[in-house]
Structure 1
Amino acid sequence: MRGDQLSEVFDLVEVQGQMSGAFEVRGRWRSRHAIDHPLKLIAMIQGHGRLLTDGLDAPIELGPGDVAILNDRSWLDVQGGGGDGPVTEFVPGPGFNVYGEGGPTGFVVGGHVDLNHVGRTLLGQALPPVGHVRAADTAAAGLHRNLHALAEEARANRIGAAFAIRQYAQLLVLELLRAYIDQAELPPGWLRVMADERLRPALTLMHAEPGRPWSLEELARAAAMSRTSFAERFRAMAGVPPLTYLNRWRMLLAQRALRDGDVRVGSLAARLGYGSESAFSTAFKREVGMSPLRYRSIARRTVPA
């Protein structure tokens, strides 16, 4: 069920993986530049590198198949290669490019994750400033398959490559999060609570029937835990109490419905378990910062990032 919930969240926050560029580089090299996306990906396909960004005291060593995800960082500095020649410095351009000459060859893919504004908040809170998925980890097998397929499409530039790259980049984000969930200690947030086996039955109920007036006792019983133990564990994993999580989940569903459809606010309120349109509007404004109707108006005028 965890996979189903992750897919559901991916749909809600409109996750889109994008390859911003790929490069093959020979000899010693270095690339320093600003980061212009909240979630930046760096994948070392071939060769070795050292990655530094704001907030790191020491560089991260990247080996073949390693992937780093940078969360709300402002710059990166990646260098690698070997040999006796001069260091080739460059800022990668879009598409596939070749830099340097002589010495061992490195191959690097860069990308980013596009999200709607809700997704930026959710994923930003769920990930550390810098995440590192190592190729040696058994959970990364699916990641490597998609990574190498994406890299091959970028390098070969065959007919239909742009379409294929978009699909592989999308799957790459999913596999990256799967691998990271399995190998790292996640900060409190929705990724961590989804990964928790003991809480999963209760989480499944909330996701399946968000409009039902779930009580703490019912959710604790589903998890086969006492009310107190359940509440404490849920807060430790999610960063918020269970019923606060439920309310935020309802608000995510409400935002999608208001963005994508013409549902009446009163009908939406009833569907999500609120006794009146007024109660729903108050809860929505408290969580989102504006009324449902104003949110709908702004969301439909805004071009997605």
Structure 2
Amino acid sequence: MSPDLLRKSTEMASDHLSEVFDLIEVRGVVSGGFAVRGPWVSRAAIEGLKFSAMVGGRARLTAEGVDGSIELEPGDVAILNNRSWLEIEGGDGDGPRREVMPEADFRSARQIGHDRGTDVVVGGHIDLNAAGQALLLQALPPLAHARGSAAAAGNLRGSLHRLFDEVTENRIGSAFAIRQHGQLLLLEVLRTYVDQAELPPGWLRLVTDERLRPALSLMHADPGTPWSLRELARAAAMSRTSFAGRFRTVAGVPPLAYLNRWRMLLAQRALRDGDVRVGSLAAELGYASESSFSTAFKQEVGESPLRYRYRVRDELPAPANTLTT
């Protein structure tokens, strides 16, 4: 295996969540928010992965395809997974509910902020590269609710308030800071949610399973090795039958199918970011020939390795050569 590919696959072998985040290029993008007093409602058509965070106050959130509603309290964050619409309502007092729309410039939040009796909501979406779409969409339920009130959720509450300070105070470098805080907020949401909920089968549940971690570390650290079920089960100190059953229950796929998917994620990054030859990449990832690798890649990704390389590079934005304000 080439030093570069080996380094990338081993440098975070003990931190599988960071490793997967790096591969799928996950980003939490803040898109808008509002602060409001009195009865209110906010409705939006959505797609992909959307998040809504309750900075202050309380509200009730409902969404397409989700039974009932959830109560959002200060510090709570909800992630909507591939839903078509959401509705949030809150506020006290008499009279009809005023419809509010998220503001990209957070104008109302800057004006009334955390004043008493104010409900404050920040929203955004989660960006992923094409390789990450299926992974994260599969790993989360239709509605994931991370509760900021939990004793162990202090980092989540802190991340949310630091983000809100940046979007309202308009300080120098705020755009950069908002991007970084959006990333950290997403990480803390997932950390909090993992601790609070039973995850559906998928890679997010897999990377948190302590019993399977030794086997997962082998596959991630040396994906080019033709690992057998016996070797992986031995690493996890389990029988082959118990290991295979637990792995499939946790990950949603058999161990060797997961190994193939992991190889394909590494291959997509190598094709996207470097100039490695397809034949060399096939050998590094444990395939007997370039043709067997190309066949496996096309089955997983839907196109040949070279076609994938040309397409994703054509889709990359041109580098900026000017500074804008």
- TM more than 0.5: yes
| 1:65-90 deviations in Å (ceiling 9; x for gaps) | 11100000111111101122442212
Deviations, residues 167-225 of structure 1 (Å, cap 9, x unaligned) = 00001111111111111111100011111110000001100000111111111011000
Q: Paired residue for 2:21, among 10, 19, 38? A: 10
CA–CA separation in structure 2 for the residues paired with 1:138 and 1:292: 47
Task: Name the CA distance, whole Å, in 1 between partners of 2:89 and 2:117.
Answer: 13
CA shift for structure 1 position 10: 0.6
| Matching of residue 66 in structure 1 with residue 76 in structure 2 | yes
Matches within 5 A, 1:202-241: 202-241=215-254
Q: Secondary structure at the match of 1:198?
A: coil
User: 1:278 and 1:219 mapped to 2: Cα distance?
Assistant: 27
Distance 1:109 1:103 in 2: 18
Match of 1:170 among 177, 180, 183: 183
Alignment match, 1:28: 39
Name the residue aligned to 1:182: 195
| 2:77 alignment partner AA | V
For residues 209 and 6 of structure 1, what CA distance do their matches in structure 2 show?
17
Root-mean-square deviation (CA, aligned residues, Å) is 1.8
Match of 1:120 in 2: 133
Could you tell me how far apart the structure 1 residues matched to 2:139 and 2:13 are? 16
Q: Alpha-carbon deviations, 1:131-157, whole Å to 9, x = none?
A: 001122234222111111001111211
Query: Which of 95, 101, 111 is equivalent to 1:91?
Result: 101
Letter in 2 for 1:78: I
- Any gaps of 5 or more consecutive residues in structure 2? 1-11, 318-325
Matched, 1:260 2:259: no
- Count of residue pairs brought into register by the alignment: 303
What is the rounded CA distance, in whole Å, between the counterparts of 1:164 and 1:235 in structure 2?
40
Query: Given residue 26 of structure 2, which amino acid in structure 1 is its aligned partner?
Result: V
8 A Cα contact 2:13 2:19, kept in partner: no
CA distance in 2, matches of 1:93, 1:136: 26
TM-score (norm 1): 0.95
Q: Out of 89-98 and 200-209, give the one that drifted further.
A: 89-98
Provide the C-alpha distance between the structure 2 equivalents of 1:142 and 1:75, rounded to a whole number of angstroms.
Answer: 29
From 88, 106, 110, the equivalent of 1:78 is 88
Give the Å deviation of 1:97. Answer: 2.6
Separation in 2 of the partners of 1:195 and 1:113? 21
Change in 2 beyond 3 A, CA 1:203/1:273:
same
Distance 1:220 1:53, change over 3 A: same
| Partner secondary structure for residue 274 of structure 1 | coil
Unaligned runs of 5+ in 1: none
State the SS of the aligned residue for 1:98: helix
Q: Please name the residue that 1:296 is paired with.
A: 309
Are positions 1:49 and 2:59 aligned together?
Answer: yes
Instruction: Give the match for residue 106 of structure 1.
Output: 119
